[in-house]
Amino acid sequence: MTLEEKLGQLQQLDGEANGNFRPEHLELVRKGLLGSTLNVRGAQRTNQLQRVAMTESRLKIPVLFGFDVIHGYRTIFPIPLAEASSWDPSLAERSAAVAAQEANNVGLRWTFAPMVDIARDPRWGRITEGAGEDPYLGAAFARARVRGFQGTDYSAADKVLACAKHWVAYGAAEGGRDYNTTDLSENTLREIYFPPFKAAVDAGVGTLMSSFNAINGVPATANAFTLTKVLRDEWKFDGFVVSDYTSVKELINHGFAANEEEAAAAALNAGVDMEMVSRSYNAFGPQLLKQNKLSTATINEAVRRILRIKFRLGLFERPYTDEAAEPNSLLRPESIRLAREIAGRSMVLLKNERDVLPLDKNVGSIAVIGPLADDRRAPLGWWAGDGKEENTVTPLAGIKGKVSAQTKVVYAKGCDVKDESTAGFQEAINLAKQSDVALVFVGELAEMVGEAASRSSLDLPGRQLELVQAIHATGKPTIVVLVNGRPLTIGWIVNNVPAILESWMGGSQSGNAIADILFGDVNPSGKLPVTFPRAVGQVPMYYNYMNTGRPPEAENRYTSKYLDVPWSPLFPFGYGLSYTRFKISNPQLSAQRIETNGKLTVSVEVENAGRRVGDEVVQLYIRDPVATMTRPVKELKGFQRVTLQPGEKRRVEFVLGHEHLGFWNREMRYVVEPGEFRVMVGSNSADVIETKFEVAAKQ
Ligand code: BGC
């Protein structure tokens, strides 16, 4: 390969928004100067560009086509935060597999997913794209999504190459402001932010994307510690790293590089192999080489990593996509069924006083109210692939399709999500008054979550809370369904409205899934993968915090809390109700004492004490109460979803061992320290039963 051809493999360029390649791409590909594109899609278009690579370029190296297929390509699944609420990684694996199949059929071979950033700050809009605040749950979903996208062999015709992003600590952006700085100890990086990436690497993920943020003063796109020491030397990752969108050039704005030339050297030398959109590598590679600021070995290594993945992907054997297959590959009936099933399992019942829910399908009349009751865009969320609004089942449609022929369903929007007009309130109030029950759909628009969608308030935007209050004031039984992509501060609703369903942004089948739950065909079983604060001022707020020297005490002013809001969250991590009731009891340990490298089994009895079949997600937490470094008050170390018939009882077992009990100590070694360990098992992070055991030094 000539130097230019090598650098060409390191370049990724953006197509047009509609999926077309740009005219210059043809020429660049012909000359071997473009290794990959993003956003170019559609079998015909990718084939057209690929044909140039395969027949007109000197080396015939196929182009790698990437796209953000985050939670579905055309069949849109719930946003990843919602899927994580299922606490069932196998569902995420299945949805990723459908997304891969659809994407592959439109010529795509690479998705910029899974997004595995831990997010402890709901102001950050991209919390919607990940699995929430916990590294253990996050790792489980990272693994599952990689498996779903890639399968065991991503050269298969229904798989795509995955990309774990954004490496790393992007979710810790200061103040929840997207693209912002992070400053974190290495311990926190290793214990909180790294684990989902490690899980993705262990699951065979082919690529990683470097993030926009700086970490402890060094931008992630030029960070040799994360990109080379951890990723390559420690984890033995042999795929390639792509930068984020122009993040190489942005090293200049960071004040880390004086110009593009320095930016290129910094990123490539640190271990970013492919440059997305900016063109610093190509523009300055040759002169950097001449000046010895970049070595041939470094360039060769980056090229080798990219080609290795292109080979593994089978791109050389199967560079083209079957254009005839495309139309039949999207929105298959089984994909739509799966989207509905997963959405139903992703929704979280937050409140259900006096069993207001489920509703009777024969109820006389229902007022369906709110700006999100019949909105086709919001349920698709951010990064909705090539999902189409015309394929969205709205809540209104889902409800109409569910109730009996006699039930009267009336609808009023009431207000918009964003603007300040209350002109529609009266109509909504009138309809509520005429009906037996009012269902109010409020939340966020898709554009209010995702990238560059940080919010300083977690309240319902616009006049939506007032709409809920006005409907509630009619005295009709009022049920609130939230359509949103991040935790919201909904204290008034929680204190006043008898039933609340968190439907998240549930994808194409959202409306059907909501109706399945509201009318009892599906028993809700989702659990929050993220803490809901009472007030935005409590943020960052997460369950696995450190105890501090003055843990909060109600009667003691001089403890760690606020004057104006209780210190506890509105809803804790892991929380979610069911239409049935579960009892968790009788914890047993297989041993009272193990050695630091030992294992033990923890088991509890779970009973369905209600009258409906249902699923409980049993959660296991540990605490290392005394250690050479302060440790969290709780850490999730196991979870299991169990389906129980009414009256059924089952013993659920968890294994705890070295990989669960240790931490990164001051010497940056992973250690299990002898001493007492507490084990907590329960239905959420705040409602647990506790037992303990002893870890003894290895003899
Ligand atoms: C986002 C990435 C995404 C990329 C390509 C960036 O702005 O941060 O998550 O993969 O664009 O669309």
Query: Average pLDDT for residues 157-167, to the nearest whole number?
Result: 98
Question: What pLDDT does 599 receive?
Answer: 98
The sign of the dihedral angle between the CA atoms of 574, 579, 585, 588 is negative
Element (H, E) at 148: helix 135-150
Nearest ligand 1 atom, CA 113: 10
Joined tokens for residue 696: 């003894």
Structural domains counted in the chain:
3
Pocket test for ligand 1, best of 275, 451, 454 (most atoms within 8 A of CB): 451
Specify if 188 maps to a domain: yes
Are residues 322 and 374 part of one domain? no
Ligand 1 within 6 A of 451 CB? yes
Domain that holds residue 361: 330-538
Specify if 345 maps to a domain: yes
Are residues 420 and 310 part of one domain? no
Ligand 1 within 6 A of 68 CB? yes
Best CA proximity match to 1, nearest among 64, 65, 61: 61
Residue 66 to residue 37: CA distance in whole angstroms: 6
Query: Which of 146-150, 306-310, 326-330 is predicted least confidently?
Result: 326-330
Nearest ligand 1 atom, CA 163: 10
Q: Give the Å distances, CA to CA, from 126 to 120, 286, 319, 381.
A: 11, 37, 33, 11
Are residues 233 and 122 part of one domain? yes
CA of 276 to the centre of ligand 1 (A): 9
Query: Average pLDDT for residues 610-618, to the nearest whole number?
Result: 98
Nearest ligand 1 atom, CA 129: 9
pLDDT tens for each residue of 57-71: 999 999 999 999 999
Residue 141 to residue 195: CA distance in whole angstroms: 11
State the helix-helix crossing angle for 89-105 and 135-150, rounded to 10 degrees: 30
Instruction: Determine contact, residues 679/589, Cβ cutoff 8 Å.
Output: yes
Residue 312 to residue 164: CA distance in whole angstroms: 17
Q: How many CA atoms lie within 13 A of 234 on its CB side?
A: 15
Question: What pLDDT does 325 receive?
Answer: 87
Question: What pLDDT does 70 receive?
Answer: 98
Choose one of 297, 326, 355: the last residue of a domain: 326
Ligand 1 within 6 A of 112 CB? yes
Looking at the chain, the whole-number percentage of residues with pLDDT higher than 90 is 99
Element (H, E) at 110: strand 110-111
CA of 68 to the centre of ligand 1 (A): 7
- What are the φ and ψ backbone dihedral angles of 85, each rounded to 5 degrees? -70, -15
Are residues 263 and 207 part of one domain? yes
User: Any idea what the CATH number is for the domain that residue 374 is in?
Assistant: 3.40.50.1700
Residue 328 has pLDDT above 90, yes or no: no
Look-up: residue for tokens 């311990």?
187
Whose C-alpha lies nearest to ligand 1, atom 4? 245
Whose C-alpha lies nearest to ligand 1, atom 7? 245
Task: Work out the number of other CB atoms within 10 angstroms of the CB of residue 610.
Answer: 18
pLDDT tens for each residue of 344-359: 999 999 999 999 999 9
Ligand 1 within 6 A of 245 CB? yes
Choose one of 509, 538, 567: the last residue of a domain: 538
Are residues 383 and 315 part of one domain? no
426-453 b/e (C-beta count within 10 Å ≥ 16 → b): eebbebbeebbbbbbbbbbbbebbbbeb
Specify if 553 maps to a domain: no
Are residues 357 and 313 part of one domain? no
Joined tokens for residue 629: 């470094």
Ligand 1 within 6 A of 126 CB? no
Instruction: Determine contact, residues 337/358, Cβ cutoff 8 Å.
Output: no
CA of 250 to the centre of ligand 1 (A): 14
Are residues 339 and 296 part of one domain? no
Whose C-alpha lies nearest to ligand 1, atom 10? 112
Are residues 469 and 347 part of one domain? yes
pTM: 0.98
Are residues 339 and 314 part of one domain? no
Nearest ligand 1 atom, CA 115: 9
Specify if 264 maps to a domain: yes
CA of 231 to the centre of ligand 1 (A): 21
Pocket test for ligand 1, best of 12, 244, 249, 454 (most atoms within 8 A of CB): 244
The DSSP symbol for 486 reads S
Element (H, E) at 166: strand 163-167
Whose C-alpha lies nearest to ligand 1, atom 5? 245
Do the strands 240-242 and 687-696 form a parallel or antiparallel pair, or are they unpaired? unpaired
Best CA proximity match to 176, nearest among 568, 457, 574, 482: 457
Whose C-alpha lies nearest to ligand 1, atom 12? 68
Specify if 557 maps to a domain: no
Whose C-alpha lies nearest to ligand 1, atom 2? 244
Are residues 346 and 309 part of one domain? no
Specify if 556 maps to a domain: no
pLDDT bin (cut points 50, 70, 90) of residue 451 is very high
Helix (H, G, I), strand (E, B) or coil at 272: coil
Residue 415 to residue 46: CA distance in whole angstroms: 43
pLDDT tens for each residue of 481-492: 999 999 999 999
Largest CA distance in the chain: 80
Q: Give the Å distances, CA to CA, from 604 to 40, 87, 557.
A: 51, 18, 38
pLDDT tens for each residue of 186-232: 999 999 999 999 999 999 999 999 999 999 999 999 999 999 999 99
CA of 603 to the centre of ligand 1 (A): 43
Do the strands 614-623 and 649-656 form a parallel or antiparallel pair, or are they unpaired? unpaired
Specify if 1 maps to a domain: no
CA of 126 to the centre of ligand 1 (A): 11
Single-letter amino acid, residue 606: V
CA of 517 to the centre of ligand 1 (A): 34
Best CA proximity match to 181, nearest among 169, 165, 166: 169
Residue 153 to residue 104: CA distance in whole angstroms: 14
CA of 425 to the centre of ligand 1 (A): 39
Instruction: Determine contact, residues 62/47, Cβ cutoff 8 Å.
Output: no
Instruction: Determine contact, residues 34/46, Cβ cutoff 8 Å.
Output: no
Query: Average pLDDT for residues 92-97, to the nearest whole number?
Result: 98
Specify if 668 maps to a domain: yes
Looking at the chain, the whole-number percentage of residues with pLDDT higher than 70 is 100
Give the residue ranges of DSSP H helices in 225-321.
260-270, 280-290, 296-312
Residue 327 has pLDDT above 90, yes or no: no
Task: Work out the number of other CB atoms within 10 angstroms of the CB of residue 535.
Answer: 17
Are residues 615 and 496 part of one domain? no
Whose C-alpha lies nearest to ligand 1, atom 8? 244
Catalytic residues: 244
| pLDDT mean across residues, the chain | 98
Nearest ligand 1 atom, CA 166: 9
Whose C-alpha lies nearest to ligand 1, atom 11? 245
Residue 326 has pLDDT above 90, yes or no: no
Question: What pLDDT does 381 receive?
Answer: 97
User: How big is the chain, counted in residues?
Assistant: 699
CA of 114 to the centre of ligand 1 (A): 12
Q: Which residues pair with 27 in a beta bridge?
A: none
Nearest ligand 1 atom, CA 165: 9
pLDDT tens for each residue of 351-397: 999 999 999 999 999 999 999 999 999 999 999 999 999 999 999 99
Joined tokens for residue 152: 């065991």
Ligand 1 within 6 A of 170 CB? no
Query: Average pLDDT for residues 525-554, to the nearest whole number?
Result: 98
Residue 629, burial from CB neighbour count under 10 angstroms (0-12, 13-18, 19+): middle
User: Any idea what the CATH number is for the domain that residue 664 is in?
Assistant: 2.60.40.10
Single-letter amino acid, residue 669: R
User: Any idea what the CATH number is for the domain that residue 58 is in?
Assistant: 3.20.20.300
Joined tokens for residue 606: 């779970």
Are residues 368 and 299 part of one domain? no
Instruction: Determine contact, residues 689/587, Cβ cutoff 8 Å.
Output: yes
